[in-house]
């Protein structure tokens, strides 16, 4: 997959995506990042990319033309139209289902804003989708773009070493993750649940499912109401609820 990023801070985005699983995905040729700086496409002597807002008020607004030229440069190599996404708090909330959908694509373009905003006409004409990573305000779209690149990159085939670790992740089935333990088995802070030491793989899978269901019920009941649980899951959740009664 190829992701093009339109940003005034291309080095920052490249650094964010340069380490760990995503850095490795790039080295393996599973993910290619291309950054385009609108400042390189500014045509005036000062290389301006922002101007004062019509109607007055604080802050600056990103100019149409440098952004449009950078977008056109990113699109130049594409045979088909490439979905262009603007990251902002006004967007639709990003979730794992949307990440999975975007991860299937051959290419996407991410547009990162700075200052008070981007001229609305550029957004209306050149952006296909507006996404938000959460209900808080950042100072630009670069961190949200890095979040999206990370979430998409790790879903590329071969990015994760254990083929199963993506499928078993929280949210892949709409549930939160189960608890994890490693050595030592006994510790001053507590002991590892005995079932995990039993070697009984079916019992372990069942315990993990029960924990995932129970924690989702405790912490994110909103996620649970969106799911249709089968009889086995209903039973495991009921057991968890019984276990956590005092
Ligand atoms: C976005 C600042 C555009 C300036 C931002 C401009 C955000 C979020 C966010 C800040 N993006 N989810 N939350 N962006 O805060 O996606 Cl011009």
DSSP string, 70-100: HHHHHHTT-SS--EEEEEEEEEEEP-HHHHH
Q: Is the pLDDT of residue 11 over 90?
A: yes
Q: Which of 89, 113, 135, 148 to mutate to test the pocket of ligand 1 (most atoms within 8 A of CB)?
A: 89
Radius of gyration of the chain (CA): 23
In 3D, which of 69, 61, 11, 77 has the Cα closest to residue 41? Answer: 69
Could you tell me if 155 and 164 are in contact, meaning their C-beta atoms sit under 8 angstroms apart?
Answer: no
Q: What average pLDDT does the segment 140-161 reach?
A: 97
For residue 214, which of 167, 179, 172 has the smallest C-alpha distance?
179
Higher pLDDT pick, 170 / 45: 45
User: How many whole angstroms from 145 Cα to the centroid of ligand 1?
Assistant: 10
Domain 168-243 falls under CATH 1.10.1270.20: yes
- If you take atom 2 of ligand 1, which residue's CA is the nearest one? 140
Say whether 65 is catalytic: no
Decide: 119 and 64 in contact? Cβ < 8 Å.
yes
Give the residue whose CA is nearest to atom 11 of ligand 1. 88
154 is catalytic: yes
pLDDT category of residue 36 using cuts at 50, 70 and 90:
very high
Under a CB-based contact definition with an 8 Å cutoff, are residues 114 and 139 in contact?
yes
- Residue range 211-215: mean pLDDT, rounded: 98
Fold of 2-153: Alpha/beta knot (3.40.1280)
> Mean pLDDT across the chain, nearest whole number?
96
pLDDT band at 102 (very low <50, low <70, confident <90, very high): very high
Task: Select from 94, 104, 87, 98 the least CA-distant residue to 155.
Answer: 104
Least confident of 46-55, 78-87, 133-142, 162-171: 162-171
% of the chain residues with pLDDT over 70: 98
Mutate to test the pocket of ligand 1, among 53, 113, 115, 141 (most ligand atoms within 8 A of CB): 141
| Contact assessment for residue 193 and residue 200, using Cβ atoms and an 8 Å cutoff | no
Cβ atoms of 217 and 240 within 8 Å: the answer is yes
**Percentage of the chain surpassing pLDDT 90?**
94
The whole-number pLDDT of residue 166 equals 57
Up-side HSE of residue 150: CA atoms within 13 Å toward CB? 15
Element (H, E) at 242: helix 231-243
**What average pLDDT score do residues 230-245 get?**
98
Tell me, what's the pLDDT at 167? 56
pLDDT digits (tens, 9 = 90+) for 62-96: 999 999 999 999 999 899 999 999 999 999 999 99
Q: Which residue has the tokens 């315990």?
A: 207
| pLDDT band (50, 70, 90) for residue 161 | confident
Does the annotation mark 142 as catalytic?
A: no
pLDDT at 172: 76
Is residue 135 scored above 80 in pLDDT?
Answer: yes
Q: What average pLDDT does the segment 148-174 reach? A: 84
Domain boundaries of the chain, sorted by first residue: 2-153, 168-243
């Amino acid at each position: 997959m190829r992701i093009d990023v339109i940003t005034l801070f291309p080095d920052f985005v490249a650094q964010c995506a340069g380490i760990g699983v995503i850095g490795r995905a790039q080295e393996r040729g599973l993910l290619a990042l291309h950054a385009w700086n609108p400042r390189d496409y500014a045509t005036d002597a000062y290389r301006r990319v922002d101007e004062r807002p019509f109607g007055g008020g604080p802050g600056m607004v990103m100019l149409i033309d440098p952004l449009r030229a950078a977008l056109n440069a990113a699109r130049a190599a594409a045979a088909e139209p490439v979905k262009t996404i603007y990251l902002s708090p006004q967007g639709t909330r990003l979730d794992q289902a949307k990440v999975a959908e975007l991860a299937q694509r051959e290419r996407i373009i991410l547009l990162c804003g700075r200052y008070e905003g981007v001229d609305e006409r550029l957004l209306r004409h050149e952006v296909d989708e507006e996404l938000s990573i959460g209900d808080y305000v950042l100072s630009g779209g670069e961190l949200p773009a890095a979040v999206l690149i990370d979430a998409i990159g790790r879903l590329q085939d071969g990015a994760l070493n254990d083929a199963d670790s993506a499928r078993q992740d929280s949210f892949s089935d709409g549930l939160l993750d189960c608890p994890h333990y490693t050595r030592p088995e006994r510790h001053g802070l507590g002991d590892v649940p005995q079932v995990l030491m039993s070697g009984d793989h079916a019992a372990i899978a069942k315990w993990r499912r029960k924990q995932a269901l129970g924690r989702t019920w405790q912490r994110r009941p909103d996620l649970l109401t969106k799911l249709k649980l089968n009889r086995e899951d209903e039973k495991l959740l009921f057991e968890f609820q019984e276990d956590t009664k005092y």
